[in-house]
Amino acid sequence: MANERIYNFSAGPSMLPLSVLETAAAEMTNYHGSGMSVTEMSHRSKVFQDIFDTTKADLKRILNVPDTHEVLFMQGGATFQFAAAPLNLIGKTGKADYIVTGNFANNAYKEAKKYGEISLAASSADRNHCYIPKQEELKLNADASYVYYCANNTVFGTEWKYVPETNGVPLVCDMSSNILSKPVDVSKYGIIFAGVQKNMAPAGMAVVIIDKALAGHELPYTPLIMNYQTMIEKDSMYNTPPCYTIYMLGLVLKWLDTMGGLTGMEKVKAERAKLLYDYLEESKLFKPHADKEARSDMNVTFRTGDEDLDAKFVKEATAQGFVNLKGHRSVGGMRASIYNAMPVEGVQKLVAFMKNFEAANA
Ligand code: PMP
């Protein structure tokens, strides 16, 4: 089975650990002697409740979530949270600050404008989002209900290397593409949310980690399904949760433990990223998109400067078993997404392929 797998550099949905897929396959028709698949279980059954409780407890433990915060599993992906966050939080002052460092932050900014007075605290659009603004460049308002940013910009390949200081204003962060890749201080955040389809599970869900003090102040027309207070009270089961995705997240978390948890992941992540960026630094053919100090360890964006050559690279890479390397249309070129499940070996082989390609096309 392992021999048939290829190196999948997709930005998401993306690779899951092989052992996780094998466990899921083995348990597909009869989960732990229950006589049924997890996909067939009532979400109110004891057997599913155990899966749910264990997954939630493991996530809390691994991310070191303090008791002030609650973990929610919500359908609708990360985009659902672009509406849920303002609907739940903006009522305090009617205002919020948004930092736009990529297209997903921009989507969140556009969505939030429907619900209040939104200030653009900073934007990196002037250089096609190849950098992250510095703390002193952020124009933050003391009366904002919250400050919003996106920790890792999947499309452009930039990543925040610091947590913005907001002087007590709650921080809302989209961590979709770098959650679980390194330890984070959850206590610094009002809300962390993440679509699960990169580092956590199959698509169809977002993990939301919320400071419980922020819930219960939603705008009156907030749909119940988007209401954090309802979801906290119902322990994410106001309606049917994405049961199978939660189960898969549970398997991924068990795998993460075997990899040394978040400090283990941080080490591997640094190793993978160094391999690619060191080569991009020395390459005469490939140029990285992101400024050096803003480079993402999860999404590596680069190009040759010649669209035909980029296309040739993607085609030849695909033929060699390195797939999904075509960059997003707003950046062009290539993007190698190297999330938690990508083995170091996959990046070593990709770099070797890139070196050969460079030699052949110099
Ligand atoms: N935020 C980030 C950083 C993303 O990378 C993505 C998806 N690639 C989204 C939000 C949107 O996620 P979803 O498709 O789950 O709504």
Q: Is residue 281 part of a domain?
A: yes
Ligand 1 in contact with 78 (CB < 6 A)?
A: yes
Which H, E and C letters describe 300-339, residue by residue?
EEEECCCHHHHHHHHHHHHHCCEECCECCCCCCCEEEECC
> What is the average pLDDT across 17-44?
98
Does the pLDDT value for residue 100 go beyond 90?
yes
Q: Are residues 253 and 268 in the same domain?
A: no
Q: Are residues 276 and 242 in the same domain?
A: no
Total domains in the chain come to: 2
Ligand 1 in contact with 150 (CB < 6 A)?
A: yes
> What is the average pLDDT across 344-362?
97
Query: What is the per-residue pLDDT for 4?
Result: 80
Mean of all residue pLDDT scores within the chain: 97
For the full predicted model, state whether its pTM sits above 0.95.
yes
| Other Cβ atoms closer than 10 A to 40 | 12
Last residue of a domain, one of 258, 274, 290: 258
E strands present in the chain: 7-8, 69-74, 95-100, 117-123, 147-150, 152-153, 158-159, 171-174, 191-195, 206-211, 287-288, 299-303, 322-323, 334-337
Cα→Cα distances 170→95, 217, 219, Å? 12, 14, 17
Ligand 1 in contact with 102 (CB < 6 A)?
A: no
Q: Is residue 357 part of a domain?
A: yes
Q: Closest Cα to atom 4, ligand 1: which residue?
A: 176
Can you tell me the distance from the alpha carbon of 130 to that of 124, in angstroms, rounded to the nearest whole number?
7
| Cα-to-centroid distance, 47 and ligand 1 (Å) | 31
Q: What is the pLDDT of residues 71-93, one digit of tens each?
A: 999 999 999 999 999 999 999 99
Q: Which pLDDT band, with edges at 50, 70 and 90, does 3 fall under? A: low
Q: Are residues 285 and 237 in the same domain?
A: no
Ligand 1 in contact with 79 (CB < 6 A)?
A: yes
Q: Are residues 194 and 299 in the same domain?
A: no
Q: CB of 221 within 8 A of CB of 242?
A: no
Q: What is the pLDDT of residues 147-176, one digit of tens each?
A: 999 999 999 999 999 999 999 999 999 999
Q: Which of 99, 150, 177 to mutate to test the pocket of ligand 1 (most atoms within 8 A of CB)?
A: 177
Q: Which of 60, 12, 17 is nearest to 265 (CA)?
A: 17
Q: Are residues 253 and 170 in the same domain?
A: yes
Residue 11 CA: which ligand 1 atom is closest?
Answer: 8
Residue 196 CA: which ligand 1 atom is closest?
Answer: 15
Residue 76 CA: which ligand 1 atom is closest?
Answer: 16
**What string of DSSP letters covers 53-77?**
HHHHHHHHHHTT--TTEEEEEESSH
Q: Which of 307, 303, 275, 289 is nearest to 102 (CA)?
A: 289
Write out the residue range of the structural domain in which residue 297 sits.
262-361
Percent of the chain with pLDDT over 90: 98
Ligand 1 in contact with 174 (CB < 6 A)?
A: yes
Ligand 1 in contact with 77 (CB < 6 A)?
A: yes
Q: Are residues 154 and 44 in the same domain?
A: yes
Q: Closest Cα to atom 2, ligand 1: which residue?
A: 176
| Cα-to-centroid distance, 105 and ligand 1 (Å) | 9
Ligand 1 in contact with 322 (CB < 6 A)?
A: no
Q: CB of 101 within 8 A of CB of 153?
A: yes
Side chain identity at 190, as an amino acid letter?
A: G
Last residue of a domain, one of 258, 284, 306: 258
Q: What is the pLDDT of residues 176-185, one digit of tens each?
A: 999 999 999 9
Handedness of CA 240, 244, 245, 247 (dihedral sign): positive
> What is the average pLDDT across 268-293?
98
Last residue of a domain, one of 258, 281, 301: 258
30 Ramachandran zone, left/alpha/beta (phi>0; psi -120 to 50): beta
Does the pLDDT value for residue 1 go beyond 60?
no
Measure the N-to-C terminal CA separation of the chain; round to a whole number of Å: 37
Query: Which tokens hold the place of 361?
Result: 């096309």
Q: Which pLDDT band, with edges at 50, 70 and 90, does 2 fall under? A: very low
Q: Closest Cα to atom 9, ligand 1: which residue?
A: 78
Q: Are residues 294 and 247 in the same domain?
A: no
Q: Which of 104, 298, 331 to mutate to test the pocket of ligand 1 (most atoms within 8 A of CB)?
A: 104
Q: Sheet of 95-100: strands edge to edge? A: 69-74, 206-211, 191-195, 171-174, 147-150, 95-100, 117-123
Ligand 1 in contact with 299 (CB < 6 A)?
A: no
Q: CB of 47 within 8 A of CB of 32?
A: yes
Query: What is the per-residue pLDDT for 215?
Result: 98
Q: Are residues 211 and 275 in the same domain?
A: no
Q: Are residues 167 and 58 in the same domain?
A: yes
Q: Which pLDDT band, with edges at 50, 70 and 90, does 362 fall under? A: confident
> What is the average pLDDT across 256-263?
98
Q: Are residues 197 and 346 in the same domain?
A: no
| Cα-to-centroid distance, 11 and ligand 1 (Å) | 10
Residue 155 CA: which ligand 1 atom is closest?
Answer: 5
Q: Which residues, in sequence order, are CB contacts of 259 under 8 Å at separation 6+?
A: 265, 268, 340
Q: Regarding beta strands 287-288 and 299-303, do their DSSP bridges make them parallel or antiparallel, or are they unpaired? A: antiparallel
Ligand 1 in contact with 16 (CB < 6 A)?
A: no
Does the pLDDT value for residue 321 go beyond 60?
yes
- Long-range Cβ contact pairs of 39-44 (< 8 A, separation 24 or more): 39/243, 39/244, 41/243, 43/237, 43/240, 43/241, 43/243, 44/237
